[in-house]
Structure formats: C-alpha cells, structure tokens
Amino acid sequence: MASLSELTHKIRSKNAGPFWVTIDLFCEDDAHYKRVRDGLTLPVIARCLLIPENLVKRFEIDNLKVIKVSFQRKYFQGSRLDRDMHGAQFAFLLEQLQID
C-alpha cells in the first residue's frame, strides 16, 4: 500500500462550474501512473468521498499520465451547507488515500 501523495507529483482539485468538482492526479512516470490507474477505481473514489458511484466520472488520460476524477457536489457552490466554495481541499483528502 502507498498513499496517493507518494504515487503522484501533484494532485489539484477545483470547482468546474457551480455544480461539479474536478480532481486531477498527475503522475511522474508510467509505473506510477499504472499503479494509480489500477488502484484508484470508481468504488475506491466513491468510498473516499462518501458519494454514490453514479455521481462520479473517472477519466484516464494516458498521454499526460493523469487520472481525472469529476463528481457532482453534494452541496452546490456557495449554498447554505457548502464548506469550500472552490473545492480545492478535496486534493488533500485524496493525498492520504492508500491504494494497492
């Protein structure tokens, strides 16, 4: 097991419009990319974010060695219970996530 912060060289998270958050995981080389790609599955993401899998989209961008995770916000940007308008702190949640 290793944490995603060890397997990536950058994780960034940002709002993509008021209704989605998108997280980009940048990997240094093919070996790390393959490990992140195989380990960071849809169920793993959904468990980490505590949201249903059908609200998550996952993309593999091989040429950039990037895994992209986009999910529908539980609370829309700036709504009463929203805690992070720009959604950037989700990156730190993923950084500590352990995968095989």
Which has the closest alpha carbon to 34: 10, 70, 67?
A: 67
Residues that bind other proteins (CB under 8 A): 14-20, 22, 24, 26, 48-50, 55, 57, 59, 61, 63-64, 66, 68, 70, 72-73, 76-81, 83-86, 89, 92-93, 96
Token code pair at residue 23: 């997280």
Of 7 and 65, which has the nearer Cβ to other proteins? 65
Smallest separation, CB 31 to other proteins (Å): 18
Q: Are 13 and 89 in contact (CB under 8 A)?
A: yes
Of 31 and 59, which has the nearer Cβ to other proteins? 59
Instruction: Tokens 């986009």: give the residue.
Output: 70
Smallest separation, CB 38 to other proteins (Å): 19
Report d(CA 44, CA 97) in Å as an integer. Answer: 9
